[in-house]
Structure 1
């Protein structure tokens, strides 16, 4: 029995991908503990988790929406137009994104008032915060924030590019052939190599000076996920051992302390797509204990950990007279996971439910008004 048929018996759910997303989100958190909070660096290539996120997003969105959007020759029940898809994505992403930008923005304002010599001017801080709350980038150079697109909450840069990719896919790419998708992946891969060589790194997209690299990263990663979804029926079914192997391979890619550009390009463009292939083919097998819970909190953890790290590390450095956190920075992981769980259960899920009902009521109201308008016409 191939993977696609076996998954169809479980509502098309690829549970292992949730665990992989959770592992990647934790790796990004640990990466930022090392780079932003002065802690020990356990994942020197942790930024590559973003490339894996893009690949996951392409596959999972295609699984959930391709047929409903009329893609690949489908005409599914419960069809959805572009506007409906855009509303669904907004409901899914907005609560955590706005919360993260709000907390980070308040921190930047407080830092500006308390230490103006280490901050951008207040008017620039407020304007940048307003843009970031709308998941829009800051495109000017700041005294303290440099060319950073989302100083209120750094990881929002990847959500910005993912939103662009999601909307472009639903509007145009969803109805393109598999051959066109493959060509797009090849072209974006070539552009990614050129951007990485020009900038000397693959850690691109979070600054205005590397917007081209961010666009290439999301086009390649998201395209890989879409392409794999089209080809999933040809994958063999893998045994349960494949699930922890895929998880370990993901950790290996981000933890190995080799940062030469040819190696990181190989990881992002060859190794991580292969990891995703194994994860998809492993079906519903579990990888690690607690992986399902980690998958649930992955998006809140990704969306709020940087502003919380800024607050916690600032307070710790003040108490430690500027000394780096070192290994003690790992103590921040449990409270960050707890915060992510609280955000998920107390804010994200209730807000998504409320927003979804509100949009449903609006759609019903429009549907009931339209026949009346047609009658009067």
Structure 2
């Protein structure tokens, strides 16, 4: 999920598209509400919240191009970019896998007949920690690619498209990006129409669909960034329209594949375009805070919801929760805020420093002998 990407350029640029942070925080909250409904059986209030992932992919393309586009090929190598992305993404990935593994083991102990085997859980943990999908059918998790922590499927594709961009797409001309975006749009629409759903990528049989989703979303973000200087500054009206369009796409309870295709290929891209035109606007109370913790919210919330659902069913005998399940939102937001401040940011600094030191040591080791004298 881009949902973990922060602008790291100079302060004036960092605030230039401040409204994007607000929409990212809003989208992360809606994903959380969506999974409260799907993971606990509570009444749904964000019917198509899973489409927020496509918006995250679009944000990722725009924000990465803004933060690193001019540096790659100039004073930043592909390896340095890869190290920065790994340092940014992996702390939350690892913590999410730890939480998910703890839940999976508790479930295996409490209800082994309704769980994957112990060997399957441990193998899934090993792969998911490396941000790699499991490829076999689990007795309880089926074909789920990241059963230890479901949202990792989108982070896997995020990492893939990040590296493809840094290694190849970053040097492409604007016209090439437009053509690739249009082609990926056609492919994604065809794949979603054939599958009867836009909810692709989280299962092994639909991994190609996930690749189509991230390709279109990321490319569209790159195209918007490429033409950003030609876009008008529309201020608050654009911000208001973008917020309404984002919420409508994720919340309106229509599930027909034609509707979700339209939301993904038309409405969400329009929301991003308007958000860029909104510039520095601040519109949504609390959204900057949600934007700051959005990556932790996205990467950590599912294990907590799974644990809540399992405990609620065990102690109440009900397989479906009521609206009280949405109280978990406040706990998860608090955990995400603490994790962002006291774990994620310090871990990023340590990991970045460690990777940089390893890179410098490797370069010294590869120097000719006379260069060391």
Q: Shorter-chain TM-score: which interval?
A: over 0.9
Per-residue deviation at 1:341?
A: 0.5
Write out per-residue CA displacement over residues 204-253 of structure 1, whole angstroms, 9 at most, x where no aligned residue: 00000101110100000000001110010110011223223312221111
Q: How far apart are the structure 1 equivalents of 2:115 and 2:366?
A: 53
Indicate the SS of the match to 1:241: helix
Per-residue deviation at 1:188?
A: 1.1
- Structure 2: unaligned runs, 5 residues or longer: 1-8
Q: How far apart are the structure 2 equivalents of 1:370 and 1:345?
A: 38
Listed as ranges, the matches of 1:270-309 within 5 Å are 270-309=266-305
Q: Which ranges of 4 or more aligned residues in structure 1 deviate by more than 4 Å?
A: 363-372
Write out per-residue CA displacement over residues 4-62 of structure 1, whole angstroms, 9 at most, x where no aligned residue: xxx98812542111111111111111000001111121111001000000000000000
Listed as ranges, the matches of 1:56-95 within 5 Å are 56-70=59-73, 75=74, 79-95=75-91
Which residue number corresponds to residue 48 of structure 2?
A: 45
Normalising by structure 2, report the TM-score.
0.94
Moved more, 208-217 or 121-130: 121-130
Listed as ranges, the matches of 1:248-287 within 5 Å are 248-287=244-283
Which residue number corresponds to residue 352 of structure 1?
A: 348
Which residue number corresponds to residue 4 of structure 1?
A: none
Indicate the SS of the match to 2:295: helix
Q: How many residues align?
A: 364
Q: How far apart are the structure 2 equivalents of 1:260 and 1:376?
A: 66
Per-residue deviation at 1:364?
A: 4.5
Per-residue deviation at 1:257?
A: 0.7
Write out per-residue CA displacement over residues 272-315 of structure 1, whole angstroms, 9 at most, x where no aligned residue: 00100000010011121111111001000000000111111211
Q: How far apart are the structure 1 equivalents of 2:117 and 2:184?
A: 38
Normalising by structure 1, report the TM-score.
0.93
Per-residue deviation at 1:368?
A: 6.0
Determine whether 1:10 maps to 2:31: no
Contact persistence 1:109–1:126 (CA under 8 A)? no
RMSD of the TM alignment (CA)?
1.8
Determine whether 1:154 maps to 2:121: no
Q: How far apart are the structure 2 equivalents of 1:331 and 1:182?
A: 44
Which residue number corresponds to residue 24 of structure 1?
A: 27
Indicate the SS of the match to 2:138: coil
Q: How far apart are the structure 2 equivalents of 1:11 and 1:303?
A: 27
Listed as ranges, the matches of 1:365-376 within 5 Å are 365=361, 373-375=369-371
